[in-house]
Structures are given as C-alpha cells and as structure tokens.
Structure 1
Amino acid sequence: MAILEIDDRHLQVSGVEVNRDTLVFTMADGRRIEAPLWWYPRLEASSSTQRQQWKILPFGDAVGWEEIDEYISAKALIIGGAAPGAVPPAEAAE
C-alpha cells in the first residue's frame, strides 16, 4: 500500500472559483485543482453570493465559507472524494 505524502509548501491556495458545476482552487505555484461541485452539498446548495464569500484560512492551505459552515482543504481536493452525504447527479435524478 502506498502512502501519499504531500509537502505542505505545495498546498498554498491563492484563489478560488465556484461556478454552477465546479469548485477550483488556484494554488500559489500556478496549479489549478478542480472538483465537481456536487462533492460539497452545502456549497452546491448555497447562493451565488454565498459562494463568492470565501476566505483563505490562516495556514493558507484551506478555504472557508463561514456563512454556510463549509471548509475545504487543498489536500482534500488533491486526494479527491466527496463529502459525506454527497450524491452524484445521476443517482440524485433516480
């Protein structure tokens, strides 16, 4: 079994984009990490105004949306995987 080790220096977030379908973190080194918005049900259910009210947290490796109580780390996006309770759109339509 391999263990993914990520140097914290590579986890610094410099910007965030949230659109109708996608969450994107822009990293300080220029990389962009993207995840489907349905992975984060609270963020997906929020208004476009709430989605734009993000804040990079003090260590620089995570982003928070205080009003909707959502906090996502860069490591979570890199590793991948939906938040508890997330339902893929195809399953939600059934």
Structure 2
Amino acid sequence: MTILDIDERQLQVAAVEVTAQSIIFDMADGRRIEAPLWWYPRLQAASAQQRAAWTILPFGDAVGWEEIDEYISAKALIIGGAAPGAVPPAQAAE
C-alpha cells in the first residue's frame, strides 16, 4: 500500500484568486488548487475588496484575510477541508 506524503515544499502559495464560486491558489510549482467558495462562509460573505486583501502567511503555505479573520492553508484545499459551519448551496436552499 502506498500512502501519499505531502512534502511541505509542495505547499508554497504564489497567488490567490477568489471568484463568485471558487477560491483558487496558484502554487509556486505551477499547480492550481481550487475549492468551492461555500467551503469558507466568512470569505463568501466578504466584499470584493475584502476578498482581494489577502496575504501569504510567513511560511508560504497558507493565506490570510486579516480583516475577516479567515486563514486557509494549501493543505486544507488539497485534502478538502471545508470550514466548520460550511453548508452546501443545495442544502442551504432547503
């Protein structure tokens, strides 16, 4: 059996894009990692200006939006880590 081991050097974020539906991390090695925006309710509720005010955190493997107190690691996007309280759109419509 093989187990995926993520090397921390593979987690370096180069840039971030937040669209109406997604959050996308452009990684230093050329990959793009995308997750649905509903996974992160605070980011989803933020204004376009707040969403654009991201910074790469000191170790380079996570991004923060200080004004809305949201911090997302590259590893969370890779393994599918939705924030607590995240509700899928179909479920939220019920």
Q: Which runs of 5+ in 2 are unaligned?
A: none
Q: Percent identity?
A: 78
Tell whether 2:21 aligns with 1:21: yes
How many residues are paired up? 94
- Give the match for residue 55 of structure 2: 55
Alpha-carbon separation, structure 1, partners of 2:4 and 2:40: 23
Query: Scaled by the length of structure 2, what TM-score is found?
Result: 0.95
* Deviation string, structure 1 residues 56-87 (Cα, Å, up to 9, x no partner): 00000000000000000000000113110000
- Give the match for residue 77 of structure 2: 77
Counterpart amino acid of residue 7 in structure 1: D
Q: What CA RMSD, in Å, does the superposition of the two structures yield over aligned residues?
A: 1.3
Counterpart amino acid of residue 65 in structure 1: W
